A and B are shown apart, each in its own frame.
Chain A
Amino acid sequence: MPELDAETLTTDAELAGLVMRAGAAGSPAAEAELCRRFGRRVRLYGRRRLQDSAVDDLVQRVMLIVLAKLRAGQVEAPERIDSFVLGTARFVTRELSRVGNREDPLDQAMPLPLDETRADPLAVQSLNACLESLAMRERAVVALTFFHDQNATEIGDALGMEAGHVRISRHRAIARLRACMGLGAEEVVA
């Protein structure tokens, strides 16, 4: 099968179809692009569900299972590859979360470096300048959210604010930070 430019494929379904049709012969560019796209989403999922130290493992295990199933033609609906990857992520997360569970070490590598499933870190100096443009209360809410891992209720209790007020302040602050950092505009709550 001729190798296609996987990055120009517009949909995840097309990409999954390409990997599946290539079968055991493999389609390296398509497989790498599939891992690039879904590896980042699995990483986001893992950060919500697992300790940081387990997230790399999750990303690799999920993507290797997905690729193996596609190559073997065992994905019933490649047009819903997103659901298949999510289901696999849920299954592997449960396995990794089991108390005392020791997964076997991986004996293969993903077809692209793990780093390509990580987002680039933000420039800290630019972020600092953007934080300093926020009101002091918004800055406190951002610091307690991201550094201290507190939710709106906990922040409200700590600062004497209603949780709803914390959510508004947090939303406004984050929307402003995104815009200030050039990360895309979001509607800012008045």
Chain B
Amino acid sequence: MNAACATPIPLVDLIAYHAGELAEGDSERIEAHYFGCASCSERLETLSRLDRGVRALVHGGGLMAGSTAAMVQHARTQGIVVREYRTDPGEHVQCTAGPDDQLLITRYGGLRGITSVDLHFRGAIVGSDQTLEMQMPDLPVDQATGDLVLIAPARLNRSFPALEIEVRLTVQGPNGPRPEGPYHYHHRPWELLDEDERRRRAGR
């Protein structure tokens, strides 16, 4: 444990430094401090460890988060294997998760001008009366595409049985909440599909 710093750099400034947001003079002031301060350099190092940890998590296909189409493209350029499906309200999509997929992207369209949605996922297990349900409040909408871009670990989807999925969104608009959707996904496990069906469910 390092001796405490009498004048610690505020975390908000360490984050801004790490993110490259500071003017050169402010960066130099922070560098002059942490080079002489074991405590603050350790706090900055923690940000670097979190940064690398999040990268490792995404590369390992472990992230579940709302995101943007640009970040998905960035993941592709990093060599991450991505399967992507996009639906507009009322549309149906045949989907699966392949054995090599790392991230499974679902995109929900029709949300131009919207910044926040609540998501309700309901998956009826085919051949049973059981259902899987999930709620995700306050998901951000990608402003460049007008889509909700949801990243999920492909291994999570590979663990699913055959599901008839209905996703409903509640849009938080300027005139109060309103429903959007439903968006329909017909998920089938990869191992149950023949080659033609796998191609049909290739996504983008």
Contacts and interface: CB of A to CB of B under 8 A. Distances in A.
B11 A127 contact: no
B127 to A, nearest CB: 30
Contact of A152 (B17, B21, B50, B75): B21
A140 interface: yes
B66 A147 contact: no
A139 B50 contact: no
B55 interface: yes
Contacts of B141: 159-160
Contacts of A152: 16, 19, 21
A62 B190 CA distance: 53
Interface in A103-153: 119-122, 124, 127-128, 131-132, 135-137, 139-140, 142-148, 151-153
Nearest to B39: A184
Contacts of A127: 50, 53-54, 57
Interface string B62-77: 1111111011001100
B144 to A, nearest CB: 7
Given A161-B115, A174-B15, A174-B50, A136 B136 contact: yes
B71 A174 contact: no
B71 A144 contact: yes
A95 interface: no
A85 B53 contact: no
B142 A159 contact: yes
B53 A121 contact: yes
Contacts of B44: 44
Interface in A151-190: 151-153, 157-161, 167, 170-171, 174-175, 177-178, 181, 183-184, 186-187
A139 B65 contact: yes
Contacts of A142: 54, 65
A171 B57 CA distance: 20
A136 B138 contact: yes
Of all A-B residue pairs in the complex, the 8 with the closest CB atoms, nearest first, are A82-B36, A160-B115, A122-B53, A146-B54, A159-B140, A139-B65, A82-B35, A86-B35
Interface of B: 3, 11-12, 15-21, 27, 31-32, 34-36, 38, 41-58, 60, 62-68, 70-71, 74-75, 115-116, 136-144, 151
Given A144-B68, A146-B50, 7 more contacts: A124-B53, A124-B62, A127-B57, A140-B139, A143-B63, A148-B71, A158-B144
